[in-house]
Structure 1
Amino acid sequence: MESIYEKIADEIYDKSYAIIDDFISEKLRSSLLKEQSDLLDAGKFRLAAVGKGEKKQIKTEIRNDQVLWMDPDELSKYEKIYWEEVNKIRLAINRRCYLGLKSFEGHFARFPKGSFYVRHIDQFQQVLYRLVTVIIYLNDSWTPDDEGVFRLYLPQEDGSEKLLDVLPKGGRLVVFMSGEIPHEVLPPNKERISITGWLRDID
């Protein structure tokens, strides 16, 4: 029987993205959400920047979400469990797609009500090592009225694009090729929480 990790790898191979509901247990989801809330209360989050290195800067007209990067050497109990799950995805994609993925980097991402991130691609000149984007949503509940969808612009063979809107439902996993699929976050009507990260071909 095909594992969930193999299913993700097959879908990445076939169509460059995969969406899996209930990827993590309810206990893990709620524990990571509580951890995020505690870190937010402790003042650990910062406005997200764009660019890399010397070109890194805060541009709220492009994105106005808040992030907290995770330290791979100081992961919490629940972060380690999630890291292990992502590592299983990494190994499955390497077996299926031969991408040579070596490591993962990630952060908590908080979009307050009304915030956004305009259309962009995750792999740009300074971060060519980001090959696969991995997002897990942590919200307790989400309905279409809450808005804040994750919009994928899927390239079609005729040069057009197909829009795919994904609700940030708790436990839902979105995986896609970082350099192939433009995407954006539309403004939510309430706080929107995820862990966003990238599988990389560097250590």
Structure 2
Amino acid sequence: MENGAIAKALYDKGWCVIEHFISDEFRLELLQEQQEILAHGQFRHAGIGKGEGFTIRPEIRSDKVSWMDHRLLTPLQSKYWEMMEALRVAINQRCFLGLRSYEAHFAMYPPGSFYLRHLDQFQSVKYRVVTAILYLNDEWSEDDGGALRMYIPGDNGEETSMDIHPYGGQLVVFLSGEIPHEVLETHKERISITGWFRDVEY
């Protein structure tokens, strides 16, 4: 699916799932880099809130993250950043969201971890407008758990839920402030690059 089609889906329904967004070769390279970062102890327990309101709440989320610094990207991260930049431009052209920057981290959910229902845009991060999640796992089956459950608002005020399994190479894009979601308990290590297009500069 081309970036223009992704932007159209985002405009029409607020979300989009793209299989094989990256080549398997590139996925494996990113996965290897993630494993090296993890081995060097650069992952930290994820929390909720920002600044003084940041807290570690394992009863709400139990993943670990390693933030990417846009000023110190590795060659592989730069390649992915360029792909996200092209997508940002396409979304702005179609959706007029005023997206101005991108931030991302590697996310790793150990077996038994989860993230309860939430929105990616809340009081302290109103600048997050569009969420983009790329899965890096080698193999995955539905029995492995770890699905992203999105709650899709309906015209009648009701919502429907949809489970997206974290198949390697798949990209999920959705409006950060409109699609509540959760990560169901995973039964094996679940790896992604989770990022947000923002309406502020760095």
Q: What is the TM-score of this pair, normalised by structure 1? A: 0.98
1:101 aligned counterpart, secondary structure:
coil
CA distance in 1 between partners of 2:187 and 2:116 (Å): 17
CA distance in 1 between partners of 2:11 and 2:159 (Å): 19
Which of 18, 42, 47 lines up with 2:16 in the alignment?
18
Report the RMSD for the aligned CA atoms in angstroms: 0.7
Deviation at 1:27, TM superposition (A): 1.3
CA distance in 1 between partners of 2:16 and 2:135 (Å): 14
Deviations, residues 97-118 of structure 1 (Å, cap 9, x unaligned): 1011010000000000010000
Deviations, residues 161-192 of structure 1 (Å, cap 9, x unaligned): 11110000000000000000000000111000
Which of 34, 45, 48 lines up with 2:46 in the alignment?
48
Between Structure 1 and Structure 2, how many residues are aligned?
Answer: 201
Deviations, residues 130-182 of structure 1 (Å, cap 9, x unaligned): 00000000000111111110000000111111111000000000000000000
Does 1:163 pair with 2:150? no
2:35 aligned counterpart, secondary structure:
helix
2:161 aligned counterpart, secondary structure:
strand
Amino acid at match of 1:191: E
CA distance in 2 between partners of 1:26 and 1:73 (Å): 26
CA distance in 2 between partners of 1:198 and 1:39 (Å): 21
Which of 3, 27, 38 lines up with 1:5 in the alignment?
3
In structure 1, the residue matched to 2:76 is: 78
In structure 1, the residue matched to 2:122 is: 124
Deviation at 1:194, TM superposition (A): 0.1
> Which runs of structure 2 are paired with 1:80-159 in the superposition (5 Å)?
80-159=78-157
Q: Can you give the 5+ residue segments of structure 2 that lack an aligned partner in the other structure? A: none
2:72 aligned counterpart, secondary structure:
coil
CA distance in 1 between partners of 2:181 and 2:28 (Å): 26
Deviations, residues 67-112 of structure 1 (Å, cap 9, x unaligned): 0000001111111111111111100000001011010000000000
In structure 2, the residue matched to 1:177 is: 175
- Runs (4+) of structure 1 exceeding 6 A deviation are none
CA distance in 2 between partners of 1:17 and 1:85 (Å): 18
Q: What is the TM-score of this pair, normalised by structure 2? A: 0.98
Percent of aligned pairs sharing the same letter: 54
